[in-house]
A and B are shown apart, each in its own frame.
Chain A
Amino acid sequence: MKINRILIANRGEIAIRIMKTASRMKIETVAVRTSVEPDAMYLSSADKIYDNTEAESEIPVFLDIEKLIGIALETECNAVHPGYGFLAENAYFAQKCTDNKIIFIGPSPDALYKMGNKTIARRIALSGNIPMAMGSEGNIGNEEEAVTIAGKIGYPVIIKAASGGGGRGMRIVRKAEEMEKLFIIASKEAEKAFNDPSVFIEKYIENPKHIEFQILGDSRGNIIHLGERECSIQRKHQKLLEEAPSCALNEELRDEMGRTAVQMAKAVNYESAGTVEFLLDSDKNFYFMEMNTRIQVEHPVTEIITGIDLIEQQIRIANGEAIKFRQEDIKLNGWAIECRINAEDVQSGFAPDPGKIESLSLPSGPNIRIDTGIKAGSVIAANFDSMIAKLIISGNSRKDAVKNCKMALDKVWIKGTKTTLPFFRMLMRHPKFLNGDFTTTFIEKDLDQFFYNSEYEEMLAAWLATKLFIEENLEDNSINVDFENGKEMSPWLLNKRINQF
């Protein structure tokens, strides 16, 4: 069976991204129209639209397994692409597709299940001698046991109170000689604070970087990696900026981590595109975190430096084709950076700022790729995520890419909601970011301001406020405003007024 029509079980930019490649491969696509966003941009990329606006269901259609299978059968799709999020890593959905003779474009239900279960994933890593951020199996009885276990895990380790929280009863131990003393202190502190002296030990990874490897595997057992992505710029585990390659890796470390990632994928006979995530400490030790069994939001940076279309590979692999290149054919060229432009207010701690996009102008050029599912008039609804667009910038070197990114950021115009643009403008000027000197705690620890404004911007804003005030209130150089009990006016009416100047 060869894939000839794909049901896109997703929305937004990733739906468009998948349909773009499918169309180039002369494969038809079906998209689902929902009542939440019946005029969404992704619908115009589909060959066929399944109208689900009348459906009365508690759960969104993209999470409704029975419904999606039904739509696929009704529209005669012989494959489903789940995108990311929603059902992308749901083993039951993948199994249901197979049961109904529909190709699930992704890994096998077995691989989805094994990697989705953290305990099983850890066991696989453990049996393959893959380094992990280990912990003691349970509570530690006494200081001798603590020394033995910490020796196995490797220093530094952190002692944590079993009933604890908020940092109390926690001690970082860097050397075996310190263990006995600190164990007793931590245990006593735990007893005092929580009425329970039990503590356990975990590996302590100091200021780690988040480094992940892109994996491709086919049904013939070929598995290769396409290099790494650096995703340390994140907030509460939400990635904001990703780049490829990472300036923290050299050829040797890349080979070693890449081999480890491939080993991990081989353990579950991984098929399709996937990602193995690691933490990398300042001494360049790396630890397996988890495997993501889907196409990822940040996949474009890998596509740019390898020249490989990952969606195309997913489709070909799902079709039973073998991967056409070997590990030694993979060459990383240049540098790519992805900025996630989200509807968030960086001045209020990245709080979501849903709303209607009043106008939108995105730059284009040889170094610029934009993946978006939003157009002027679209609504960033509170039901879905806050992404507006991914700005993907390339350059010959990191320096070059940063320079291009800085220029492109000034050409993005979005009106209607606040966005993460001021954050990226700040980042492109931050010495630590420019030097590659940042870890996953960068946003929490290294920043005192989350945005950038040039010297005169506030003054110009003040000038504008004054101008508006004069237009509204001042006649004949005299003032007609009640400073305490004024009127309220719709911002859009106001915008219309200032347009008349």
Chain B
Amino acid sequence: MTNEKISIKKLYALSSENRRFCFSLPLKQTIRIGKRNYEVRLKNDEKFGTYILWKNRKYPVEIVRSRQNKYEILFNDIGYTFTIETPFSLQRMKVLGSKKGKVEKEMVKAPMPGKIIDVLVREGSNVLRGEPLVILEAMKMQNELQSPVNGQVLKVSAKSNSNVMKDDVLVEIKVE
């Protein structure tokens, strides 16, 4: 376990697309763009709920999920996922990342509650990234759940005509 009790001078917010935003501590209420500093405020009121005020405009914000140092945020109706790293944890991540390589098993989960209409793969099937695995019907629409990776199907838990809850694991794939 790695509790850190050190003084830190900055934090990094790493986006899921690997864009990096650096903020120095203590966190300022201004953000510098070019040569000017702009004020940024997190506010809350009855009418709008929580919002960010930036350049005289209000942007609605919501915290969708937070786990460990990972934050999923809705900003102006668009979802962003960041992990917050200290200079130290960022460095460690780089080292670990280069040793560990990528994940070996990918779980395909139901993104919403619904009914399985069709299962298109079997245990042992080889699948390509983007290949449809399962047809899930929710809210009168049929949704194709696609394989996020190239690999081989290890286990199929989804059954045709069965109802599933959000986040139920439907297919497990061994990543190639």
> Which residue in A382, A460, A479 is a CB contact (below 8 Å) of B138?
A382
Evaluate whether A480 and B3 lie within 8 angstroms (CB atoms) in the complex, with A459-B31, A470-B11 already known: yes
At the interface with chain B, which of A69-77, A400-408, A482-490? Answer: A482-490
Residues in A whose Cβ lies below 8 Å from that of B112:
351-354, 382
Knowing A382-B113, A477-B8, A498-B63 are in contact, say whether A485-B141 is a contact too (CB < 8 A).
Answer: no
Chain-B contact segment, one of A89-97, A122-130, A272-280, A410-418? A410-418
Are A485 and B1 interface neighbours, CB within 8 A? yes
Nearest to B52 among chain A residues (CB) is A460
Q: Does A491 contact B (CB under 8 A)?
A: yes
**B155 nearest CB across to chain A (Å):** 23
A-B contact count (CB 8 A): 188
Contact B8 A461 (CB under 8 A): no
Complex interface bits, B1-36 against A, C-beta within 8 A gives 1, otherwise 0: 111111110010101000101010111000101000
Inter-chain contact A469/B69, CB cutoff 8 Å: yes
Whether A460 contacts B48 by the Cβ 8 Å rule is no
* Interface size, chain A (Cβ < 8 Å): 63
Cα–Cα distance between A415 and B44 once the two chains are bound (Å):
13
Question: Which chain B positions have C-beta within 8 A of A460?
Answer: 31, 40, 52, 54, 59, 75
Q: Which residues of A contact B138 (CB under 8 A)?
A: 352, 354, 382
Which residues of chain B have C-beta atoms less than 8 A from A250's C-beta? none
- Name the interface residues of B50-65: CB closer than 8 Å to any CB of A: 50, 52, 54, 57, 59-65
Q: Do B77 and A418 touch (CB < 8 A)?
A: yes
Q: Which of A354, A421, A465 has the most CB of B within 10 A?
A: A465
CB under 8 Å from chain B, chain A span 461-501: 461-470, 472-474, 477-489, 491, 494-495, 498-499, 501
Stretch of B78-86, B98-106, B116-124 at the chain-chain interface: B78-86
How far apart sit A494 and B60, CA to CA, in the bound complex (Å)? 15
Q: Does B47 contact A (CB under 8 A)?
A: yes
Please tell me if B151 contacts chain A, counting CB pairs below 8 Å. no
The distance in angstroms between the C-alpha atoms of A381 and B50, with both chains bound, is 25
A487 to B70, CA, bound (A): 11
8 Å CB contact of A413 from B8, B11, B60, B140: B60
Complex interface: chain A residues within 8 A of B64 (CB): 491
| Residues of chain B with a CB closer than 8 A to A451's CB | 78
Question: Which of A352, A410, A458, A478 has a CB less than 8 Å from the CB of B19?
Answer: A458
Cβ distance B7 to chain A, nearest Cβ, rounded Å: 5
B114 touches A469 (CB 8 A): no
B111: interface (CB < 8 Å): yes
Which residues of chain A are within 8 angstroms of B54 by Cβ–Cβ distance?
Answer: 456, 460
Contact indicator B79/A347 (Cβ below 8 Å): yes
Smallest CB–CB gap between B55 and chain A, Å?
A: 8
User: Which A residues are in CB contact (< 8 Å) with B97?
Assistant: none
The answer to whether A461 and B86 have CB atoms under 8 Å apart is: no
B23 surroundings in chain A (CB, below 8 A): 462-463, 466
Interface centre among B26, B78, B143 (most CB of A within 10 A): B78
Which residues of chain A have C-beta atoms less than 8 A from B3's C-beta?
480-482
Q: Is chain A's binding surface mostly helix, strand, loop or mixed?
A: mixed
Chain A proximity mask over B139-154: 1 for CB below 8 Å, otherwise 0:
1110100000000000
Does A361 reach chain B (CB closer than 8 Å)? yes
Q: For the complex, is A144 an interface residue (Cβ under 8 Å from B)?
A: no
Q: In the bound complex, do residue B63 and residue A386 qualify as a contact, i.e. CB atoms below 8 Å apart? A: no
Cα(A415)–Cα(B47), bound, Å: 12
B68 within 8 A of A: yes
B65 A385 Cβ-Cβ under 8 A: no
A467-B8 contact in complex given A347-B79, A460-B52, C-beta closer than 8 Å: no
**Which of chain B's residues has its CB closest to A349's CB?**
B143
Quick one: given A354-B138, A384-B139, are A459 and B67 in contact (CB under 8 Å)?
no
Residue pair B76, A453 in contact (C-beta under 8 Å): yes
A474 to B54, CA, bound (A): 25
Say if the beta carbon of A328 comes within 8 Å of chain B.
Answer: no
| Neighbouring A residues of B175 by C-beta, 8 Å | none
Residues of A within 8 A of B66 (CB): 468, 472, 488-489, 491, 494
A415 contacts B76, C-beta separation under 8 Å: no
Q: Are A499 and B74 in contact (CB under 8 A)?
A: no
Contact A382 B114 (CB under 8 A): yes
Q: Is the CB of B156 closer than 8 A to any CB of chain A? A: no
Min CB distance B143 to A, Å, is 6
Cα distance A236–B111 in the bound complex, in angstroms: 19
Give CA–CA (A463, B12) in the complex, Å.
10
Residues of B within 8 A of A353 (CB): 112
CB pair A415–B60 under 8 Å, yes or no, is yes
- A238, A413, A483 — most chain B CB neighbours (10 Å): A483
Least CB distance from A485 to B in Å reads 7
A295 to chain B, nearest CB (A): 19
The distance from the CB of A225 to the nearest CB of chain B, in whole angstroms, is: 30
Contacts of A464 in B (CB 8 A): 42, 52, 61, 73, 75
Q: How far is the CA of A386 from the CA of B114 in the complex (A)?
A: 13
Is A348 engaged at the interface, CB distance under 8 Å to the other chain? yes
User: Chain A interface (Cβ within 8 Å of chain B)?
Assistant: 236, 238, 345, 347-348, 351-354, 358-359, 361, 382, 384-386, 410, 413-415, 418-419, 421-422, 451, 453, 456-470, 472-474, 477-489, 491, 494-495, 498-499, 501
Provide a sorted-by-A list of 15 A–B residue pairs whose CB atoms are within 8 angstroms.
Answer: A358-B49, A359-B48, A415-B62, A422-B78, A456-B54, A458-B19, A459-B21, A460-B54, A460-B59, A466-B82, A484-B1, A484-B68, A485-B1, A494-B63, A499-B44
